[in-house]
Amino acid sequence: MSRIGKKPVSLVKGVSASVSGQTVEVKGPKGTRSFTATDDVTITVEGEEIRVTPRGASKRARQQWGMARSMVDNLVQGVSTGFKKELEIQGVGYRAAVAGNVLKLSLGYSHEVNFAVPAGVTVTSPKQTEIVVEGIDQQLVGQVAANIREWRKPEPYKGKGIRYKGEFIFRKEGKKK
C-alpha cells in the first residue's frame, strides 16, 4: 500500500481542479497547470480534495499511484504558492545582474556569461551575490537553477562558485610544504 497515495490532495482556497479522462487541470492565482496520468490510476475530485486510487494490484499500478498523487500535489502547490530556489555566489569579483530576460553573470571568465531565462520562470537578483529562481513548475525551476549553477560549481579548496542557499561544500586542505 502506498502511504503517499492514500492521502488525498486538499485544494487550497482559490484553487480549482477538473478531471477529464486521465488529465487533471488545476487553476489557481498563479496560473494553470495540467498533468496526464497513466491508465494504472483513477483520479477523482471529491469536494475540496483530489483522490488518486490504483486500478489494480500490479506493481506498476502501485508505483504510479504514489507518483500520480505527488504530481497532483505539486500542481496544487505550484498554482497556489509557487516554487523557489535560491542560489548564492561566492568569490572575489563574482556577481550577477538581471537585465530584461537575461541573467548576466561575472564568474571569473574572460567574458561575461549571458544566461537567457526560459519562459515560465522568473529570475531576480536582490543582491549582486544572490539569485532567486521562481515559477509554478517545480521541474523547470529546479532545472534552471541547476543550469545556472553549472556555469561555476563550488570548488572544494576555497569554496568559490555558485551554490544553493544552505548547501554544504566539503572543504579540502591545500598543499603543505
In order of their start, the domains of the chain are 3-80 (3.90.930.12), 83-164 (3.90.930.12)
Q: What's the pLDDT at 5?
A: 87
Calculate ∠ Cα 84-145-95, nearest 5°: 105
With a cut of 90, say whether residue 36 has pLDDT above it.
yes
Give the residue-averaged pLDDT of 40-53.
92
172-to-79, 166, 169, 175 alpha-carbon distances in Å: 42, 19, 9, 10
Give the Cα separation of 27 and 7 in Å (integer): 21
Q: What's the pLDDT at 2?
A: 62
